[in-house]
Structure 1
Amino acid sequence: MVFGQLVIGPPGSGKTTYCNGMSQFLKLIGRKVAVVNLDPANDALPYECAVNIEDLVRLSDVMVEHSLGPNGGLVYCMDYLEKNIDWLESKLKPLVKDHYLLFDFPGQVELFFLHSNAKNVICKLIKKMNLRLTVVHLVDAHLCCDPGKYVSALLLSLSTMLHLELPHINVLSKIDLVESYGKLAYNLDFYTDVQDLSYLQYHLDQDPRSAKHRKLTKELCDVIEDYSLVSFTTLDIQDKESVGNLVKLIDKKQWVYICWDRR
């Protein structure tokens, strides 16, 4: 039984930094770790990756050859990876015997709730290689300072959870920097527990751009609360205790697989 993490999140949320820090922490506690870079736009890796999608397809080459922009190029790369899933399986096969896997995915959010290619890649790996994976969805904590952006982050988190249908942890990353962006309207617990979102309405109304979309925002908040699926844990990747607490949560999520297999 092979365990691992699918690390996703918008651009700038700290996915690559997370994979670097998490791999170092896991090695310190005695786990053999292999980082798999599946982001063809990530050409400056701070970690040593066991598998690199650039050995299969390069975003820069795709953009030139097919006259695509960065987003279209990434969708093409994921389609290409799905069609060549045997390549990825062959690279992972020597690792699955004794390694914990960290998959570093691209930051384009549409890959995880508009397109099916990334999900298809994940599902094929889970089925063919008997992987037990937990999604770690990173969201930059500074979004909590802006009520509108926070609601958008909640909606993105919910959409991704429903689309991927896997054990899932939403993480407010860079929590050590959150106060540098401004004072939060409420205590941090309000944002991590996703409490009564109606309290945000007053702050949203202070922005003329948000006020004119008041009804839409309220209905989106109602959808988020009706599902009651989204919550966050916090992370300072430089703090060992913070990383350790997150690892415990991830391990607990992965017990879902073990309990299911024992039935």
Structure 2
Amino acid sequence: MVFGQVVIGPPGSGKTTYCNGMSQFLSLIGRKVAVVNLDPANDALPYECAVNIEELIKLEDVMSQHSLGPNGGLMYCMEYLEKNIDWLESKLKPLSKDHYFLFDFPGQVELFFNHDSTKKFLTKLIKSLNLRLTAVQLIDCHLCSDPGNYVSSLLLSLSTMLHMELPHVNVLSKIDLIGSYGKLAFTLDFYTDVQDLSYLQHHLNQDPRSAKYRKLTSELCSVVEDYGLVNFTTLDIQDKESVGNLVKLIDKANGYIFSGIDASVVEYSKIAVGQADWDYNRVAAVQEKYMKDEETID
């Protein structure tokens, strides 16, 4: 089996920085990592790239040749990659024997919640290379400081989870900066655990811009709660403990944690059970470290 991560998220969520930091962390703990850049507009890579889509197609060329804007150009590039998936398979196959993959995708969210090309070529790769992938969706934690933006991020996360049909981990990235975004309406666990969203309604009503969308927003919150699928973990990519906790979660999601052991069902179940201190590390410890008491309202 071959394991890896599909790194996705809106622009500015820190995907490329994540791939750089995660590849360094995984290398330090003994994994051979291959970072695959599938963003045809990302020409300033901070990491060593094992496979680069720009060898196949470049966004700049697509835009000039077909008179497309950036969004249309990115969709064209993903469709082109789907049609030429043999190229990517040939690049990945020699690495699949002993490497862990990090797929760095573009930040255009349409590619993951309503466009089919990305899903289709990932499905082909999973079948042809026997891949076990986890989708890691990064959401900038500053969105928590605005109720409307937070609800939008919930809807984006849910839509992506349903569309991609992969093991999925949602991450509030740049958590080390959360204290600089001003007061949060609730404690951090409200946002990570996606608790009763009706409490957001009061804060949404304070914004005159959203007054005519109150009913719509309320219905969207109900949809998220009815599915009950969305929650978040937190990440400071510069903190080894934070990255290590996330790696444990991803390894359970794609099965990597079980790949190197020969154990009974009882032993497997012991490994699968979450650690008692996980919630503390995921939320309480983060709040203590990065958020001041006066920056939250009871």
Deviation at 1:148, TM superposition (A): 0.1
Corresponding residue number in structure 1 for 2:200? 200
Mapped to 1, the partners of 2:228 and 2:214 lie a distance apart of 21
Please tell me whether the aligned partners of residues 132 and 257 of structure 1 are also in contact (alpha carbons under 8 angstroms): no
Mapped to 1, the partners of 2:257 and 2:118 lie a distance apart of 21
Deviations, residues 162-210 of structure 1 (Å, cap 9, x unaligned): 0011100000000000121111110000000000000000000000111
Please tell me whether the aligned partners of residues 40 and 53 of structure 2 are also in contact (alpha carbons under 8 angstroms): yes
Equivalent residue letter for 2:205: D
Mapped to 2, the partners of 1:60 and 1:69 lie a distance apart of 10
Mapped to 1, the partners of 2:208 and 2:58 lie a distance apart of 43
Mapped to 2, the partners of 1:37 and 1:145 lie a distance apart of 31
Corresponding residue number in structure 1 for 2:253? 253
Corresponding residue number in structure 1 for 2:128? 128
**What does 1:73-152 align with in structure 2 at a 5 Å threshold?**
73-152=73-152
Corresponding residue number in structure 2 for 1:72? 72
Mapped to 2, the partners of 1:203 and 1:164 lie a distance apart of 32
Consecutive aligned runs of 4 or more in structure 1 exceeding 2 Å deviation: 255-259
Mapped to 2, the partners of 1:24 and 1:257 lie a distance apart of 19
Mapped to 2, the partners of 1:145 and 1:2 lie a distance apart of 38
Corresponding residue number in structure 2 for 1:224? 224
Please tell me whether the aligned partners of residues 133 and 254 of structure 2 are also in contact (alpha carbons under 8 angstroms): yes
Corresponding residue number in structure 1 for 2:53? 53
Rg comparison, structure with higher value: 2
Equivalent residue letter for 1:29: I
Deviation at 1:78, TM superposition (A): 0.2
Instruction: Structure 1: state its 5+ residue gaps.
Output: none
Corresponding residue number in structure 2 for 1:236? 236
Aligned to 1:101, what secondary structure does the other structure show? strand
Equivalent residue letter for 1:124: K
Deviation at 1:248, TM superposition (A): 0.3
Corresponding residue number in structure 1 for 2:173? 173
Q: How many residue pairs are counted as aligned between the two chains?
A: 261
TM-score of the two chains, using structure 1 as the length reference: 0.97
Corresponding residue number in structure 1 for 2:283? none
Mapped to 1, the partners of 2:182 and 2:14 lie a distance apart of 20
Equivalent residue letter for 1:116: D
Instruction: Pick closer, same or farther for the CA change 1:85–1:257 going to 2, 3 Å.
Output: farther
Aligned to 1:203, what secondary structure does the other structure show? helix
Deviation at 1:256, TM superposition (A): 8.7
Please tell me whether the aligned partners of residues 113 and 163 of structure 2 are also in contact (alpha carbons under 8 angstroms): yes
Please tell me whether the aligned partners of residues 132 and 255 of structure 2 are also in contact (alpha carbons under 8 angstroms): no
Mapped to 2, the partners of 1:41 and 1:97 lie a distance apart of 29
Aligned to 2:89, what secondary structure does the other structure show? helix
Mapped to 1, the partners of 2:166 and 2:254 lie a distance apart of 10
Aligned to 2:255, what secondary structure does the other structure show? helix
Aligned to 1:121, what secondary structure does the other structure show? helix
Aligned to 2:21, what secondary structure does the other structure show? helix
Deviation at 1:258, TM superposition (A): 6.0
Mapped to 1, the partners of 2:71 and 2:117 lie a distance apart of 14
Aligned-residue sequence identity (percent) comes to 80
TM-score of the two chains, using structure 2 as the length reference: 0.86
Mapped to 2, the partners of 1:147 and 1:194 lie a distance apart of 12
Aligned to 1:212, what secondary structure does the other structure show? helix
Corresponding residue number in structure 2 for 1:21? 21
Please tell me whether the aligned partners of residues 3 and 256 of structure 2 are also in contact (alpha carbons under 8 angstroms): no
Aligned to 1:142, what secondary structure does the other structure show? helix
Corresponding residue number in structure 1 for 2:290? none
Corresponding residue number in structure 1 for 2:190? 190
Deviations, residues 24-68 of structure 1 (Å, cap 9, x unaligned): 000000100000000001010000010000000000000000000
Deviations, residues 69-102 of structure 1 (Å, cap 9, x unaligned): 0000000000000000000000001100000000
